[in-house]
Amino acid sequence: MNETITLKVPDMNCGHCVRAIETAVRALDARAEVRCDLDAKTVQVATGLAGAAVLEAIREAGYTPST
Ligand SMILES: [Cu+2]
């Protein structure tokens, strides 16, 4: 069962950031639904992954996510 995780990613600023974050999450879960809101600086991920794994993937992509 997928859960929706919402993270704040204040250093997500443009379409490139969005693609980098989507790519990082989908590398872990190819079926993850990733919704990035550039205005709110939030990322919603519907996934079977643990929240900590999503957070770590985005961090490894070079961003600073928080819950
Ligand atoms: Cu960017």
As a three-state string, the secondary structure of the chain is CCEEEEEECCCCCCHHHHHHHHHHHHHHCCCCEEEEECCCCEEEEEECCCHHHHHHHHHHCCCCCEC
Return the CATH number of the domain spanning residue range 3-60: 3.30.70.100
Q: What is the pLDDT of residues 9-64, one digit of tens each?
A: 999 999 999 999 999 999 999 999 999 999 999 999 999 999 999 999 999 999 99
Question: Kindly report the CA angle at 42 between 36 and 48, in degrees rounded to 5?
Answer: 70
Q: How far is the CA of 64 from the centre of ligand 1 (A)?
A: 13
Instruction: Enumerate the domain spans of the chain.
Output: 3-60
Q: How far is the CA of 48 from the centre of ligand 1 (A)?
A: 26
Structure tokens at 56: 């770590």
Kindly tell me if the per-residue pLDDT of 1 is higher than 90: no
pTM of the model: 0.94
